[in-house]
Structure 1
């Protein structure tokens, strides 16, 4: 269906793609993987007409094409679903699906035709949880993503590009996306799938193309490569066991909860010790993020005991030496239009404390890629943004550091760097609590795993516990 040969692209004299080949067949799920900066997004934007290539050729159904605008690509049956959706929240599903090309009857928008066409497309995807007249802002994220896919199908898209489609989805919503992609495949729609989550690549893809430093490394059938081999192809080196070795022993209790609760949590008993990484597992809605926010003082505990003290606000939590690396770094962790320097000093300035003089050493410690400290953080890769968030908290030398999805949306190389730093901090005596939806990461990093269910502790598992044991506790079965 699509053939790209020798694609090259430069911006301001900097070469970002060089001689890239990519071919996609009808009904195929083709994964494109690589570290941040490998050229994935630029290649996808060339596919979709956002950028013209400087070099190379593109053929669609064997005919040469050259898109000068995304509309030209869309008219040729190519659609892209970005990680951050392009929906108007105040409008209905049907209004979003037909935005800018509403059917007209007697000079007026034909709402009946628009809603009927939307209902038909939802039916073809087997979606009956919402309808054409529902307002988008009232839909959960997974259903908003379905609206994006329906938009693509409404223009007869034969190739759909998905950029990190599960970044904002819960586990049960990911399963719905899998089923949806299966239906697209059955219809003969090709899917170009970009993801840092290797499990999804191996679950969904027929073939995988690896990019590194703007060049194609290889394209392989998914059955001919292992996860370890794919990582090695992406980063150019062997990441060994992938997770750093665990600490030898835990130290003193830094934080203790006894029968702690609030409107979302009940009877939480938990100890966090110096030198230990405690993993928090559970299904969506189990109370994982709520636990971190309660400990931090953002959604305080209202019952039970917390030692050394129960913070009633974020300021009190910070004063107790507690830091929180939030799940959504862009919305809650960073001031995107401020510089690296201003971001790493946010906490120190807010509480009038912290080690401002040690910022340079901390930036070196987290191995932040060479960037100017006056550069706005919105221009950094996801991995480098996460490192800035870490340094922001390390300036105050916290006794307890809470990580909520610490590697979401960053590539495998950056993940390894964050994992190494977390273990170094624990080895230096910090108490760490880590929440992750990726069970291999949670099990690989944790010295023990505490499983939540319905706002309570369902059980605690030792280091190296199986994914099955975690899921049995999370689902309410005997471990």
Structure 2
């Protein structure tokens, strides 16, 4: 589908920088969008792709630099302002009203009216159905959006964008919830829009998809553009190299301790979505005592949801969980903690800590029953001793454990969350993005702690979207995409290219690898 002809530039970002609270999200980026072509944008999570597009769509304003449309400098003060200039965006997070019909969603804020008689619902349904027919969506415009599966909701978003008569259409991960048949339909529509001269901006992690649909490609890394080319001139290896950099290190290290027997096994774990399909899709995996299993995946891969199933946060999930060979049938979180599972959640502020409590109270919150004597009284002496040991073992900078936990740095707060989990004496520790939002020094402390705990025989599963991190810490690496494990690699065999490719695999190619190859 990639074209070979030259296309003229419809929009140009000229040396654009975007800063949020001192953090540089995009740095001196220059990008030209070509008319009648698919302009692919790719990069790891946090590379700056969505920030760049939000500036074009009027959601954000550049801190520095210019936006030129048809050669003239423009300033978009809102998404509505960008829409007036013919720019539409389909966000990765769907922006629909579930309690309204498809037609009402497509024409929200720009309803077709009949003068004083109000909204012309019949005309809206007829026009909406024409847009939906164009997409071969198989949806009636009178259907309530909340009754549609997520893939069809995505098609409604695309129909809404097309209805705006856009000159530039930005699609952020448009196929993340689509079936193979729906992807084919979308690509057909994209081909028609190209023929009409529309500039398509296409953001995706699926490399094969980018090679199939793209004309021009721009690669972002750490907020900077690291590669630009015509798709016909490059291959997936070029994309990976541009994404991760030529200075990517080989983190493989020999094991410094002997692994024990199987400590944890998950069999056929499924978590259905309300809108259809699975957030966790028939996932099976096992981990030995003393082993660190890194679970790598991009946004929406299902990593956090898998951990939530294991710890008992989703009563409607299915599958079997084993700790040291014993099946844990009970689905409540407290029982699973007592049986040896512990979770360090991704969002420590909302899920890992109680903000109004002290450092000490947060540390012992999940293990108070250990300090109870005579059935109801908590032994203050034993509790204080355990708190002191935790602070020492984890090098938590807490001059006074009675201070509020919010008085600490992010890194020390993360150590408190780890300490709280370890106080339950777990056999299996689940760590969801353990280094998110903490500085380099605190990361090093957390990583040292993980290695020490593994050396003491603890089985650790940790999730991350950071390539260097998963290479540095893992004995084995499981790669997730679309709720499935697409491959498991021994650390000695793992390369950045293999991991990135496995993380971009779609539903079809992932299906045959989800169970039998995981032992």
| Residue 41 (structure 1) aligns with | 50
Alpha-carbon separation, structure 2, partners of 1:52 and 1:290: 34
Alpha-carbon separation, structure 2, partners of 1:121 and 1:295: 42
| Residue 402 (structure 2) aligns with | none
Match of residue 275, structure 1, among 285, 290, 302: 290
Secondary structure of the structure 2 residue equivalent to 1:318:
helix
Alpha-carbon separation, structure 2, partners of 1:221 and 1:274: 48
1:399 paired with 2:427, answer: yes
Distance 1:59 1:243, change over 3 A: farther
Kindly indicate whether the alpha-carbon contact (under 8 Å) linking 1:402 and 1:432 is maintained by their aligned counterparts in 2: yes
Kindly indicate whether the alpha-carbon contact (under 8 Å) linking 1:250 and 1:275 is maintained by their aligned counterparts in 2: yes
Match of residue 349, structure 1, among 341, 345, 365: 365
* Segment drifting more, 66-75 vs 426-435: 426-435
1:117 paired with 2:127, answer: yes
Distance 1:252 1:269, change over 3 A: same
| Residue 127 (structure 1) aligns with | 137
Distance 1:199 1:335, change over 3 A: farther
TM-fit CA distance, 1:45? 2.2
Secondary structure of the structure 2 residue equivalent to 1:104:
coil
Kindly indicate whether the alpha-carbon contact (under 8 Å) linking 1:337 and 1:376 is maintained by their aligned counterparts in 2: no
Distance 1:83 1:421, change over 3 A: farther
Q: What pairs up with 1:442-453 in 2 under 5 angstroms? A: none
Alpha-carbon separation, structure 2, partners of 1:310 and 1:248: 28
TM-fit CA distance, 1:103? 0.3
Tell me the alpha carbon deviations over residues 287-311 of structure 1, each in whole angstroms, 9 at most, x when there is no partner. Answer: 9999866653444989998744635
TM-fit CA distance, 1:421? 8.5
Distance 1:388 1:72, change over 3 A: farther
TM-fit CA distance, 1:113? 1.1
Distance 1:51 1:227, change over 3 A: same
1:296 paired with 2:306, answer: no
1:4 paired with 2:8, answer: no
* Segment drifting more, 313-322 vs 12-21: 12-21
Q: What pairs up with 1:228-307 in 2 under 5 angstroms? A: 230-231=239-240, 233-234=242-243, 236=245, 238-240=247-249, 250-255=259-264, 272-276=287-291, 296-298=311-313, 299=315, 307=325
The structure with the larger Rg is 2
Alpha-carbon separation, structure 1, partners of 2:59 and 2:454: 44
Distance 1:434 1:304, change over 3 A: closer
Secondary structure of the structure 1 residue equivalent to 2:429:
strand
Name the Cα RMSD after superposition.
Answer: 5.9
1:316 paired with 2:310, answer: no
Distance 1:131 1:337, change over 3 A: farther
TM-fit CA distance, 1:98? 0.7
Tell me the alpha carbon deviations over residues 112-155 of structure 1, each in whole angstroms, 9 at most, x when there is no partner. Answer: 11111111111111211x32122112222222222211111111
| Residue 401 (structure 2) aligns with | none
| Residue 284 (structure 1) aligns with | none
Structure 2 spans left out of the alignment, 5+ residues: 1-9, 273-277, 297-301, 371-382, 397-404, 481-486
Alpha-carbon separation, structure 2, partners of 1:52 and 1:462: 42
Secondary structure of the structure 2 residue equivalent to 1:59:
strand
* Segment drifting more, 134-143 vs 235-244: 235-244
Q: How many residues align?
A: 439
Distance 1:435 1:51, change over 3 A: closer
Distance 1:59 1:291, change over 3 A: closer
Alpha-carbon separation, structure 2, partners of 1:363 and 1:289: 27
Tell me the alpha carbon deviations over residues 250-305 of structure 1, each in whole angstroms, 9 at most, x when there is no partner. Answer: 3123247899999999xx99864213467999xxxxx9999866653444989998
Kindly indicate whether the alpha-carbon contact (under 8 Å) linking 1:262 and 1:303 is maintained by their aligned counterparts in 2: no
1:472 paired with 2:494, answer: no
| Residue 190 (structure 2) aligns with | 184
Kindly indicate whether the alpha-carbon contact (under 8 Å) linking 1:35 and 1:235 is maintained by their aligned counterparts in 2: no
Kindly indicate whether the alpha-carbon contact (under 8 Å) linking 2:218 and 2:225 is maintained by their aligned counterparts in 1: yes
| Residue 457 (structure 2) aligns with | 429
TM-score, with length taken from structure 1: 0.67
Kindly indicate whether the alpha-carbon contact (under 8 Å) linking 1:254 and 1:272 is maintained by their aligned counterparts in 2: yes
TM-fit CA distance, 1:225? 5.0
TM-score, with length taken from structure 2: 0.62
| Residue 169 (structure 2) aligns with | 160
Alpha-carbon separation, structure 1, partners of 2:244 and 2:321: 47
Secondary structure of the structure 1 residue equivalent to 2:130:
helix
Structure 1 spans left out of the alignment, 5+ residues: 282-286, 365-372, 452-459
Distance 1:391 1:95, change over 3 A: farther
1:137 paired with 2:116, answer: no
Alpha-carbon separation, structure 2, partners of 1:193 and 1:296: 36
Distance 1:234 1:8, change over 3 A: same
Kindly indicate whether the alpha-carbon contact (under 8 Å) linking 1:247 and 1:275 is maintained by their aligned counterparts in 2: no
Secondary structure of the structure 1 residue equivalent to 2:179:
helix
Distance 1:199 1:302, change over 3 A: closer
Match of residue 97, structure 1, among 87, 90, 106: 106
